[in-house]
Amino acid sequence: MVWNCKGLTIGNLESRLPIIQGGMGIGISLNRLAAAVADSGGIGVISAAGIGMMEKDYASNFLEANIRALKDEIRKAREKTKGILGVNIMVAMTNFAELVKAAIEEKIDIIFEQ
């Protein structure tokens, strides 16, 4: 069986495969999964929902813990792949603007809002 498909173009980014990994929150869509998808030719996505929950100061310093964890996950994914990476940040999150700013600072390729 031969599968022939066109890639996906978003702005100046071109993925080999027309696949965008879903950003599943609370520790599922993190750097390893996103990098694996990006390396396979799709667009790997890190979810910002609950991303800082493993940080020691998550309960006492919620905003900074989430920002730090998001930046860390983006950096780890970048170390693992040269492919296209995105983040999924829900607009309804109380720290939406700060997480978008953090993702931009880390030069993420795409931000998916929902």
Which of 101, 106, 68 minimizes the C-alpha distance to 85? Answer: 106
In the predicted model, is pLDDT for residue 2 greater than 80?
no
Confidence band of 6 (pLDDT split at 50, 70, 90): confident
Confidence at residue 5, expressed as pLDDT on a 0 to 100 scale: 78
User: Is there a domain that residue 23 lies in?
Assistant: yes
- Domain count for the chain, please give it: 1
User: Is there a domain that residue 46 lies in?
Assistant: yes
Number of neighbours of residue 49 by Cβ within 10 angstroms: 19
Q: What is the pLDDT of residues 24-83, one digit of tens each?
A: 999 999 999 999 999 999 999 999 999 999 999 999 999 999 999 999 999 999 999 999
**Owning domain of residue 34:** 16-113
User: Is there a domain that residue 1 lies in?
Assistant: no
Q: Where are the beta strands (DSSP E) in the chain?
A: 8-10, 13-15, 43-47, 84-89, 110-113
Confidence at residue 111, expressed as pLDDT on a 0 to 100 scale: 98
Which structure tokens are listed for 67? 């920002």
